[in-house]
Amino acid sequence: MKIKGVNLGNWLVLEKWMSPALFYDTDARDEYDLPRQLSKEVYEARIKVHRAEYISEGDFVRIRAMGLNTIRIPIPYFIFGDVEPYIGCIEELDKAFAWAKRYGLQILIDLHTVPGGQNGFDNGGISGVCKWAQSREKIDFVLDLLEKLAERYGRHESLFGIQPVNEPMNEWLWSVAHVQDRYPPRDPETAAGSAGISMGFLRWFYVEAYWRIRRHMPEEKAVVLHDAFDLTAWKDFMREDCYKNVWLDTHQYLMSAEGMGCEQSAPGYIRFIMDNYYRQIEEMEQYFPVICGEWCLFNSLAVGHDTKGGQTVLNGLEGVSRESMADADKKDLYRALAAAQLAAWNRGHGYIFWSYKLLTDTVNTAGWVGWDAWDLGRCHDFGWFPSQREV
């Protein structure tokens, strides 16, 4: 079965650009900042209302009606409510499993944040900080957490699998990506010593996580490993027969392709997809089932200017407030890019779109033209993304 899925981004792990109003009356940049800038009462009220309203049973009905079969749910490391000052969200994940069972969907649990940060991104929970892998205490916390998740959900009929950590930043990419320039740390002292994660450490961690998860999760459920932004580096990993049902997850965005020199034109994007995504996925399918666990239709051509790798007005980059393409031309572009990318992902074992919805007002808020291409619901309703019901 091909995976045809969507991420529930910004539900249990917050991203400011996806829901700016949640950060109202603060200059908080991420989930680490927010509870430290609001009173306990206001923070708890905002989070509880957000979680209750952002995703509900009706969303699972709609996802199923779109023809999708899988939901990837990013979760925070404080999901069990054992880390101050955050509020746990295990009850929301329980509800998601009940809805998934009712509507015939499967769930990939994605540990999206870890204490100390694994990449320095705002979506890692703490901007500009990447120190998790340097602390044995924090590493052990994550391994214990993964085992608790496997014990709770490992035999649930709607579980597809568990992803031990999202987007760990490898050493090379940390050295060239200038993450702390794009996501400045709030406290330089906290960020001091941040560094990329070695592939040697990550291989060790993945093995440890695999066995901790497998204590409670049967072999028919998948352990899904993010490629640490280096898809072809894993050919010699977990080749022994003792490792069962291990999948490789790669995240591929056209905005990242632009940063690698992809021409910002429809032919340029399609050529890049064919020359890179097609080839690499087919190559790695010899070793693992491969999914593209994050991708979307967003690109600078549709925005109307170079977004410098998808930087928003929140990154200090001036956005565009007037459409540069006619609706029909934009639809043609998005449909062509959707078709090319879907063809690439289907050379592997499928895809999971980022993300299901945004609460960003891309019409009335200056600088956000083009960002609705991250919202699968809008893409589906506008006819930019083909219905998957008959695919």
- Do 204 and 74 share a domain, yes or no? yes
- The pLDDT, as a whole number, for residue 390 is 63
Residue 131 in contact with residue 120, Cβ under 8 Å? no
CA gap 161, 245 in Å, rounded: 9
- The shares of helix, strand and coil residues in the chain, as percent rounded to the nearest 5, are 45, 10, 45
Rounded to 10 degrees, what is the CA torsion of 336, 258, 318, 28?
100
Q: Model confidence over 193-232: pLDDT tens digits?
A: 999 999 999 999 999 999 999 999 999 999 999 999 999 9
Q: What is the mean pLDDT of the chain?
A: 96
Residue 176: its H or E element: helix 171-177
Given 212, 232, 250, the domain boundary residue is 250
- The pLDDT, as a whole number, for residue 388 is 87
pLDDT band at 263 (very low <50, low <70, confident <90, very high): very high
Whether the predicted pLDDT of 314 surpasses 90? no
- Do 245 and 281 share a domain, yes or no? no
Q: For a pLDDT cut of 70, what percent of the chain falls above it? A: 99
- Do 126 and 4 share a domain, yes or no? yes
- Do 370 and 224 share a domain, yes or no? no
Q: Model confidence over 184-197: pLDDT tens digits?
A: 999 999 999 999 99
Q: For a pLDDT cut of 90, what percent of the chain falls above it? A: 95
- The pLDDT, as a whole number, for residue 84 is 96
Quick one: tokens of 337?
């890019």
- Do 234 and 261 share a domain, yes or no? no
269-288 mean pLDDT? 98
70-97 mean pLDDT? 98
- Do 245 and 328 share a domain, yes or no? no
pLDDT band at 25 (very low <50, low <70, confident <90, very high): very high
Q: Model confidence over 343-371: pLDDT tens digits?
A: 999 999 999 999 999 999 999 999 999 99
Whether the predicted pLDDT of 11 surpasses 90? yes
Given 233, 250, 267, the domain boundary residue is 250
Letter string b/e over residues 335-354, b meaning 16 or more CB atoms within 10 A of that residue's CB:
bebbebbbebbbbbbbbbbb
- Do 151 and 269 share a domain, yes or no? no
Whichever domain contains 20, its CATH number is 3.20.20.80
- Do 207 and 284 share a domain, yes or no? no
- The pLDDT, as a whole number, for residue 317 is 77
- The pLDDT, as a whole number, for residue 55 is 98
- Do 311 and 183 share a domain, yes or no? no
- The pLDDT, as a whole number, for residue 318 is 76
Whether the predicted pLDDT of 116 surpasses 70? yes
Whether the predicted pLDDT of 115 surpasses 80? yes
Task: Quote the number of domains for the chain.
Answer: 2
Whether the predicted pLDDT of 130 surpasses 80? yes
Whether the predicted pLDDT of 313 surpasses 80? no
Given 211, 230, 250, the domain boundary residue is 250
- Do 200 and 270 share a domain, yes or no? no
| Domain enclosing residue 70, as ranges | 1-250
End-to-end CA distance of the chain, in Å?
A: 12
48-61 mean pLDDT? 98
- Do 82 and 195 share a domain, yes or no? yes
- Do 17 and 48 share a domain, yes or no? yes
- The pLDDT, as a whole number, for residue 391 is 63
